[in-house]
Structure formats: C-alpha cells, structure tokens
Homo-oligomer: A and B are copies of this chain.
Amino acid sequence: MLPHLQLGAEIEVGPGDDAAVVRLPSPRLVVTTDTLVEGHDFLGHATTARWIGRKAAVQNLADVAAMGAAPLALVVAISAPADTPAAVFEELTIGLTARAEADGASIVGGDLGRAGQLTITVTAMGSLPLDQEPVRRSGALPGDVVAIGAPRLGRSAAGLALVLGERALVRAGEDGRPTIMLRSIQDSSAADLLRWHDAPDPDLSLGWTVGRSARAMMDLSDGLVRDGRRLAAASHVTLDLDRAALAPDVEQLTGLAAELGADPWSWVLHGGEEHAMLACFAPGAVPDGFRPVGQVLAPTAHGPEVLLDGAPIEGAGFDHFG
C-alpha cells in the first residue's frame, strides 16, 4: 500500500486487494518493467527520493510511449532497508505519482519489502487501439529521417559527470524540496543539468501522438549511439547522424565540460538516461516535436551501424554505475 494514490475512473479495483483491475481502452496490452537500485542507478547523496520516484516512473513510461501507446497504469515494488524513514516512501510515491499523472497514468498497486539497498521496480502498462500497430524498432527504411523528440541531448550525462566528479550534493528539506550544492562549479546551467540527470523530464506524449506515424521508434535509455545501433540492427539499416544538427546540443554543454575536463560530444552522442523518443520518419514527414538529426542508409559492408557525417563513432555508450 502506498500513500498519495489517486485513481482514475478506469481503475475498477485499486490497491488493497490481491491484484488491481484496470479497464483498458483496448485489449492490446503494452507492458514494460525496469528497476532503479541505490548505488547502481542512483546515489543517495546526489538526488532526492522524490526525484528517484520521478525517474523510476519516467524510464518505464518512456518504454510504453516508445511503442506508440499512452501509459495508463503503473504498479510499483519498493524494497528498502529496515531503517528507511517513512518520509522516503512518501516522497518516492509523490514523485512516482506526479510523473505518472502528468502522462495520464495511475499507480494501481504496490508492494513494500525489505532489502539492503533501496530498490524500486516499476511496471508500466498501456494499451494500443486495435487499428494501431505498435511502433517497433524494426521498421526504419533507407531514406528515412532520423529524429529525436527532445530539444537537447546530453543533459543527463552532464549531470552524471557532476555526480561522479563529486561536484554535487543534494539534500531534501522537510517539505521534500531539494537543495542542490555544487562544489567549484561556475557554469550557471549546472544545477539544471544535475536535476535533469536526477529526474529527466522528456515530453513522452510525442510517442503516443505524432510518434505513431514513425516507421521505427524507441526511447533513448543508453545513449544516441548505443540505442541507435539497436534500432539500426533491428531495422537492418545504418543511421548516419548529422554533426551540424547535434552541434547546438554540444554548444550548450561546452562551459561545464571545460570545467570538468570532459568531452561534450561524448555526452551528446553517448550519454544515457534521456528517455526522449528516437524515431525514424519517411522523408518530409517529420512531425512537430521531433527534430531531424540524421539519415537512414542501407547497411554498410560492416552491417548495421551508427555513423557521424558518414564516419564511424568511437566510444561504447552509456553503462550504469556498474
């Protein structure tokens, strides 16, 4: 049982019985599950419980959206050490609920248990109309336009660099509001970047609105290049990214990157946890909300891959704390 649950009218049975009952608009269920673990997927001193809740929600909501489906219901399993303050569960739930509701979904069930580390597993569900095929990773065709449903990439990686460089601490006040403390950082965008890392806020509605016209779509979990390779492999194509299209993203990160001795191109190309939509559209058919960042080519002699201005890209992409 979790606090702060507001149930939509489609919830026939909410938390408190053996299982929830949800009236879906269609019997074509879309479902995904993903976990955040303290020390691996987030560091307690660099975020707040409310942001962890938002991130746990968004990474699952994004997977439903990336199939072209609107999310409707979430169930949440939280395991935590015995001495975890009650406020942590409350704040997690506030964050989960806020993000879910922003995308039209309700938390319909939960499980609380014990573990050595705070662990949050969210399962997100939605449905697809019977006449709407799921937007898979495998439909991209040579000649299509590669596009992303976000004005910028690389923010989450920049925030992660602040965390891993031990330049950032976050504390929640009694009202749950975060205070971000930065050490020896001049760049004025740093706090926003940290916040984006801790609680990325992509427009997921692009997935179940205009994104339905995509030939292929997925969400950016592990970086543009790594995820692009997955889409390329599924579609048997090569993605050729356009350096000029991504240069503005890099430009906005150069100040912080210089302070941290980092490569902003690496953040934009390989940074994970943006959870924006990556999609391929027919030429001339990129909808509002998406911006072109490359072209789809026939696979090269090396097979499906991701190129930048026609050249191979170094670096492997995002991996979690490990």
Interface on chain A toward B: helix, strand, loop, or mixed SS? strand
Q: Which of A40, A111, A137 has the largest count of B CB atoms less than 10 A from its CB?
A: A111
Least Cβ distance of A95 to chain B in Å?
18
Which positions 7-60 of chain A face chain B at CB distance < 8 Å?
12-13, 16-35, 37, 39-41
**Which of B13, B19, B113 touches A41 (beta carbons < 8 Å)?**
B113
**Contact between B35 and A77, CB atoms less than 8 A apart:** yes
CA distance A79 to B124 in the complex (A): 18
**Contact between A12 and B28, CB atoms less than 8 A apart:** yes
**Contact between A12 and B134, CB atoms less than 8 A apart:** yes
Contact with B along A81-103 (1 / 0, CB 8 A): 01000000000000000000000
**Which of B29, B64, B110 touches A29 (beta carbons < 8 Å)?**
B29
**Contact between B37 and A20, CB atoms less than 8 A apart:** no
CA distance A67 to B82 in the complex (A): 31
In the complex formed, the residue of B with least CB distance to A62 is: B18
**Contact between B109 and A33, CB atoms less than 8 A apart:** yes
Q: Which of A13, A23, A33, A35 has the largest count of B CB atoms less than 10 A from its CB?
A: A33
Contacts of A33 in B (CB 8 A): 75-77, 109-111, 121, 123
Not counting A19-B66, A20-B31, a sample of 19 additional A-B residue pairs whose C-beta atoms are within 8 angstroms of each other reads A16-B234, A17-B134, A18-B66, A19-B63, A20-B30, A21-B30, A25-B27, A31-B123, A33-B110, A33-B121, A33-B123, A35-B77, A35-B113, A35-B121, A37-B113, A40-B79, A40-B113, A77-B123, A114-B322
